[in-house]
Amino acid sequence: MKSTGGSGEAKRNAGESAAEAVEDGMVVGLGTGSTAAHAIRAIGRAVDAGADVQGIPTSFQSRQLAREAEIPLTDLDSVAEIDLAIDGADQFAGEHLIKGGGAAHAREKVVDNAANRFLVVADPSKESERLNHPVPVEVLPSARTTVAEDVRELGGEPDLREAERKDGPVVTDNGNLVLDCAFGEIRSPGELASSLASIPGVVEHGLFVGMADEVHIGTDEGVEIR
Ligand SMILES: O=C(CO)[C@H](O)[C@H](O)COP(=O)(O)O
């Protein structure tokens, strides 16, 4: 599994801290990435100990991990509500996030947004005063050139994400491509989010504006919850 940022111990502390918020009877959104993976494994241990929990995966990866952890799975169409979602981030500034380092941000946004409570798990390397990380934008393959032009008009520099272990681009779980779009410091995340969402051919972008209810920041020593 791809792992970025801080230490494994910091990620573990963040993930396990957020998993403590899971209660018996809950439906839980299961995020993607190396930090969320620690939460999934911890939830698996709670299930093993008898907790009645159902998970909604946000990606192929989180589905696989949840299966290995023997967490009963369901889907968005089958539940009245999602009690809690736990997910990682590539960068956070207060309650704003940039996600999509694992190219899973489309499903992540649907699940995290639908949850009554959304807990972000991260290590300190992900924190920034202002968002400035490139924004992953999932696009229909046929629209990658036109979307890239529109992103340039918004002042961004789009870069088609290449796969690390195959020739050619990353293909998302939804069969689409990803443009990593650098905008420098993002002064108005809400405005940029609306502009990106209105480009024809954009499936979803990785700006999660005002979405985090809590951020569990793990360090080697413990965790801070904000
Ligand atoms: O948004 C994501 C996947 O699309 C991940 O949550 C994000 O990339 C953080 O990953 P990690 O915890 O491995 O650093």
Query: pLDDT by residue (tens digit) across 50-74?
Result: 999 999 999 999 999 999 999 999 9
Tell me which fold the domain 8-127+210-225 belongs to: Rossmann fold (3.40.50)
Tell me which fold the domain 135-201 belongs to: Alpha-Beta Plaits (3.30.70)
217 close to 124: Cβ distance less than 8 angstroms: yes
* Domain locations along the chain: 8-127+210-225, 135-201
Which residue of the set 16, 108, 138, 204 is catalytic? Answer: 108
The verdict on whether residue 109 carries a ligand-binding annotation is no
Give how far the C-alpha of residue 210 lies from the chain's centroid of Cα atoms, to the nearest Å: 14
Question: In the structure, what pLDDT confidence band is assigned to residue 4 with cuts at 50, 70 and 90?
Answer: low
Neighbours of 190 (CB within 10 A): 12
CA 90–ligand 1 middle distance (angstroms): 6
Question: In the structure, what pLDDT confidence band is assigned to residue 5 with cuts at 50, 70 and 90?
Answer: low
The Cα–Cα gap between 24 and 105 comes to 27
Model confidence, pTM? 0.96
- β-bridge pairing 223-225 and 135-139: unpaired
Lowest-confidence range among 2-6, 84-88, 105-109, 158-162? 2-6
- Nearest residue (CA) to ligand 1, atom 12: 35
191 tagged catalytic: no
Mutate which of 32, 128, 205 for ligand 1? The one with the most ligand atoms within 8 Å of its CB, which is 32
- Nearest residue (CA) to ligand 1, atom 7: 89
Beta strands per DSSP E along 72-171: 82-87, 91-93, 96-98, 115-122, 135-139, 157-160
Neighbours of 169 (CB within 10 A): 16
Q: What pLDDT score does 6 carry?
A: 78
Q: What pLDDT score does 3 carry?
A: 57
